[in-house]
Structure 1
Amino acid sequence: MTRFKFACLCLTLLFLGYSCKEDKSGPQETSSLNLPELTISEIHTAYTNRDYTSKQLVEAYLQRIEDFDDATNAITTINPEALAIAEQLDSEFQKTGSLRPLHGIPLIVKDNINTEGLPTTAGSLALKDYIAQEDAFIIKKLVEAGAIVLAKSNMAEWAFSPMHSKSSTAGTTRNPYNLEYVPAGSSGGTGASIAANFGTIGLGTDTGNSIRGPSSHNALVGFRTTLGLVSRSAIVPLYLRNDVVGPMCRTVEDATKVLEVIAGYDPDDQLTAHSKGKIPENYTQFLNKDALTGARIGVLRELSDADTAPEVKALFEKSLSELDSLGATVVDPVVIPDFAILKENQWCAPFREDVERFLKNYVKNDSLQTIEDIIEVGSNSDFARERLLRNAAHTGRWENSEIPCLGAYSDVRRVAFREAIEQVMDSLELDAIVYPSWNNPPARIDHFQEEYKGDNSQIISPHTGQPAFTVPMGFTSKNLPAGIQFLGRMYDEPVLIGLTYAYEQGTKHRIAPNLKKVTAK
């Protein structure tokens, strides 16, 4: 067997859950390692050991997409340059013997983030022919770190829906754990892609739910970071006062390595000026499996007890016991004074302003300058069409237009909400507050609106600006994932990284979906 064929065999075996070691004295042997999914560290170890190359890894992922994406419908565009980029990275490694932080790591990018030479459609007919001329700021940073943009992923059209991920350009994405159910929205394509092992790492955007919701529904780790920590420039916005972009990965460690690359100041997104002086030298130093020992974790029962499905409730109660067994002091309950009042009247809708600025700065199409132009192009989705009309007619605060919508850091209602939470955290010496990411399991695709219940991600973090991370906490009897969310203080990513990593390592709740090829009837 040639070394090339042997490497290809090893790579195939890795994806099937086996390890492969070369024995030059006789036949090759395999042993089960229960390793169906690869991490950044495992891939870099394999590169260093010359087990396989970046090009072979990309080929394997592309084959997996070809075999299984007919089931999930998660991928919209394959990067035709991915293999060539991988070859260049292989050549660089052969010459230098060193790996960049994300060297040769295949990346799935949500289809509202500008990627040079590839469509950025935001799931809409209006942008179906828009090809970005250059990468968004964060994509540049990821590419410089060695990541390979492998593909773009489907999303809810214009990021309107936290419920499901249906676009006019690609149709409906299905949950890889059960194809009759939603992967949530709007980053459901990234969620389904990473859960189905179509790439190593993924990017989503989150206006209210859209990183954490799909991560919870797909047994992933999702980081909604502090508003202002990561640039949003050259990304199709929903409401920029809320929008965050961040990692969606299978492990806390991988998500942390992505965050480490993308965090930082971007002159084209002035909100990131708030992050200056608040970013540590590196985030991976906080990956401490003992971080829960001595930690104080508060339980926000106003969310966890709100019409929670019995199975999700049981998983959450079990997670509290797990936190206790891993060394944390669980403070239960935590009460935020006037919580019900503070959380109201938080939503503002600057969609027109934000999207029309994006059209002007990036799309630069004379026939596509306003929301009315977008509406005229049309949509294949009744849901998206209704949301477009609603956003065209309303730009102020949803529930009370007399209350002004101010900046992300200066809005009086937002600041009051954040201060109320952080003051309670300070008084109780809490490291984080926890609650279920969803109080209910994923909805059925055919009933997504009536079964959309218990979305806790919308309530606090997008308005206060605080970081909130979701990690898997188990599965329901129908094998549908559920997640637990950790809420921290502003710029407390180091604390949340430690806590979520310790919980993940202490519980190992993630299980890969059992996808099967779709065969023609």
Structure 2
Amino acid sequence: MSLNLREWIVEVDITKLQTALEEGLVTSEELVAEYIDRIDRYDPRINSVLEINPDAISIARSLDQERLDSGSRGMLHGIPILLKDNIDTGDKMHTSAGSVALAGSVASQDSAVAAKLRSAGAIILGKANMTEWSNFMSSYMPAGYSSRGGLVLNPYNPGELFVSGSSSGPAAAVAANFATAAIGTETAGSIIGPACQHFLVGIKPTVGLVSRAGIIPISASQDTPGPIAKTVKDAAMMLGVLTGADERDQTTKSSEGHAYTDYTSFLDADYLRQARIGVPRHYYMGLDVERRAIMETAIETLKQEGAVIIDPVDIVVEQQNWNNDVICYEFKRDLNHYLAQLPDISQVHSLRDLIEYNEANSEIALRYGQDTLLRAEATVLTEQEYIEKRQQYNHLPNTEGIDYVLERYELDALLLPGDVDGMYIAARLGYPLITVPAGYSQQGIVDTDGDSTKGPFGIVFSGKAFSEPTLIKLAYAFEQATMYRYPPQLSEE
């Protein structure tokens, strides 16, 4: 059997890749070369990849030889993966959070995520574009824009469809089959939103399940990396590689006794027969006609597959205030710490340095301003004031939010639309989310922010802390019953 690699690589999953690699039908070196060729041919219209790892080919060749000599390390051995550009890699690539201010910044060591991927045998193919500073720079900045990389476009219709969230580059790249999967990061919607808008599966883990060490921060109480992939199985494989306690991130201690190294054991296509799922109707109110119809169809599918649907369920609604002192305090504190440890050759070692650099280079750095950076720099909270405000900030979600509703109605999860508003209550608590493709809006509308609702759309399952096994069961069962995903039709410039 021979492979037409150019055609075969489109939509191929990790399991099929490993089978082909083990049978000698393809090598990792050939995979890397083919993905790079696809990026060269198609990404000029998408703008999703910032840079290719200059050592990717040699790493792939070495892993091919290791497979021959001593066998595979596991399911990610020789698999090309992209990382969002705020994730450190101790190699020749840069980590800039999309900012021209850090365009030449090279990390001294791997982030915990990068180290775990390398240990599992994955090939870090390159860095993906993103919304600059994870969309914590300017309230006027469009999703997917960075001063270093320009604007990410949605491969399903470049220039017309919304990309959503700061992990737009990883999502667009995976959707376009520029890599097998990717790692994004989320504070509130930045994995789930882009995955939803690109017909992908995204897992936003419980904060503490995966280490944030070596990731440019926004919020210590909400940030987490997580996988973006074409299937629930691939996302589950990726998640298992990333978990574990890490001394560089003390929050990961909370995951002890709750983390797994293999989440594929939770891929249960029949799980909906015993599931109880709640529908918080408040979060459906802003949907246009087509996306509401997608949600109603998903609810009917869940019922047909045996799930008990509790509709509606009441949940306290309080919109997250992104100008909140808590988030600004955490951003200023932790970004200053990250920037301070950069090599002396960097011009930026603090948030104040960053603001001044942007002002001095405003033509390239400040297309959309930096009002959010300025607001964070102006934060003058004391540590005690921060602790008190954080407790107030989380009071309603803790007492009348997800846990309260799940326990009151004896639910496995809540079912949310794949837009950002419904994710805030989970984000505040650092709780997990998973999205899976659910339909395509053919017409859509242009919302008040000028973003089109046309295009791919997903459903989101939300649960308690460390409920990833249950959420994976639900998402996998829905995916297997529907199989909505299909790839975009790409064209070269």
TM-score, normalised to structure 2, is: 0.90
Amino acid at match of 1:329: V
Task: Give the corresponding residue for 2:8.
Answer: 14
Q: Distance in 1 between matches of 2:115 and 2:146?
A: 26
Q: Distance in 2 between matches of 1:247 and 1:384?
A: 30
Tell me the secondary structure at the aligned position of residue 176 of structure 1: coil
Give the counterpart of 1:38 among 12, 22, 25.
Answer: 12
Does the 8 A contact of 1:125 with 1:377 survive in 2? no
Instruction: Name the CA shift for 1:142/1:457 in 2 (closer, same or farther; >3 Å).
Output: farther
Does the 8 A contact of 1:359 with 1:365 survive in 2? no
Tell me the secondary structure at the aligned position of residue 433 of structure 1: strand
Tell me the secondary structure at the aligned position of residue 271 of structure 2: coil
Report 1:86-485 matches (<5 A).
86-117=60-91, 118-160=93-135, 163-180=142-159, 181-280=161-260, 282-305=262-285, 307-336=286-315, 339-341=316-318, 348-349=327-328, 350-363=330-343, 367-378=347-358, 380-394=365-379, 404-406=385-387, 411-414=391-394, 416-420=396-400, 421-438=402-419, 455-478=420-443, 480-485=455-460
Does the 8 A contact of 2:144 with 2:165 survive in 1? yes
Aligned-CA RMSD value: 2.2
Amino acid at match of 2:49: I
Amino acid at match of 2:274: G
% identity of equivalent residues: 37
- C-alpha displacement of 1:342: 8.4
Determine if the alignment matches structure 1 residue 513 to structure 2 residue 478: no
Q: Distance in 2 between matches of 1:177 and 1:481?
A: 8
Does the 8 A contact of 2:167 with 2:185 survive in 1? yes
Does the 8 A contact of 1:167 with 1:381 survive in 2? no
Per-residue Cα deviation, 1:142-164 (whole angstroms, up to 9, x for no partner): 11101000010001111116951
Q: Distance in 2 between matches of 1:69 and 1:182?
A: 17
Which residues of structure 1 form unaligned runs of 5+?
1-5, 16-35, 439-454
Q: Distance in 1 between matches of 2:356 and 2:27?
A: 48
Q: Distance in 1 between matches of 2:320 and 2:30?
A: 50
Which residues of structure 2 form unaligned runs of 5+?
444-453
- C-alpha displacement of 1:343: 5.9
Does the 8 A contact of 1:157 with 1:384 survive in 2? no
Does the 8 A contact of 1:208 with 1:457 survive in 2? no
Q: Distance in 2 between matches of 1:259 and 1:285?
A: 12
Amino acid at match of 2:374: L
Q: Which has the larger radius of gyration?
A: 1
Q: Distance in 1 between matches of 2:97 and 2:67?
A: 35
Task: Give the corresponding residue for 1:56.
Answer: 30
Amino acid at match of 1:323: L
Q: Distance in 1 between matches of 2:55 and 2:209?
A: 30
Tell me the secondary structure at the aligned position of residue 348 of structure 1: helix
Tell me the secondary structure at the aligned position of residue 185 of structure 2: strand
Of residues 472-481 and 222-231 in structure 1, the stretch that sits farther from structure 2 once superposed is 472-481
Tell me the secondary structure at the aligned position of residue 178 of structure 2: coil
Tell me the secondary structure at the aligned position of residue 232 of structure 1: coil
Does the 8 A contact of 2:144 with 2:163 survive in 1? yes
Instruction: Name the CA shift for 1:292/1:407 in 2 (closer, same or farther; >3 Å).
Output: farther
Per-residue Cα deviation, 1:371-391 (whole angstroms, up to 9, x for no partner): 121012115343352322222
Instruction: Name the CA shift for 1:82/1:402 in 2 (closer, same or farther; >3 Å).
Output: closer
Instruction: Name the CA shift for 1:489/1:334 in 2 (closer, same or farther; >3 Å).
Output: same
